[in-house]
Amino acid sequence: MPLVLSDRHEQLADQLVALFLAEGFRRFTLGDLTQRLHCSKTTLYALGESKEQLVGNAVVRFFKAATREVEARTAEQEGAAAKIEAYLSAVADALRPASEAFIADIAAHPTARRAYARNTKIAAGRVRELIQEGVASGEFRQVHAEFVADTVAATMQRIQSGDAQRATGLRDAEAYEELARLVLRGIRS
């Protein structure tokens, strides 16, 4: 999205994200979006010059907002275990409003899929840092932090790709909650 948006465009961008989260985005035409958001195509084009760009910008906006919230909740915690639990729980909470249609549309949309994959990679790296911090401080038992982090990253990628849901029936948010419980039970001293 443009670097500086008017208040109306900021509000519209948030409405677009909320609409996509609730209903997905593949089925919408630009005309559908202007009707649903009560705006003109010109106004909508301020958020992206094509539907492809609108979708990409909205998905990136969603993940940026989610990342800010996840990091804020993590920063409120003391100790690596509390931070990991807060981090993965916050990821679950950020994904909770995402409908099955939204997740499926992301998987089918190259730009959106790359944005989700990039955020998953960043999140896996962040969990790796927190595991290393906990091992170094003695809060966690001596585990091979890189292996545990790699396993977490692989699971996060399976969640992101939809493989975890197909195998278990768990939606992304539920899978992140289970991952948090599994990791913490396995590495605590």
Instruction: Return the C-alpha torsion angle 105, 110, 112, 113, nearest 10.
Output: 80
List, for residues 1-54, the tens digit of each pLDDT value.
444 568 889 999 999 999 999 999 999 999 999 999 999 999 999 999 999 999
Radius of gyration of the chain from its Cα atoms, rounded to whole angstroms: 18
Is the domain covering 59-187 a CATH 1.10.357 domain? Answer: yes
How far apart are the two ends of the chain, measured CA to CA in Å?
45
Q: Give the residue-averaged pLDDT of 56-79.
A: 95
List, for residues 75-121, the tens digit of each pLDDT value.
999 999 999 999 999 998 998 899 989 999 998 999 898 998 898 88
Domain ranges of the chain: 59-187
Euclidean distance between CA atoms 115 and 94, whole angstroms:
15
- CB-based contact 11:44 (threshold 8 Å): no
Within 8 A by CB and 6+ apart from 122, the residues are: 67
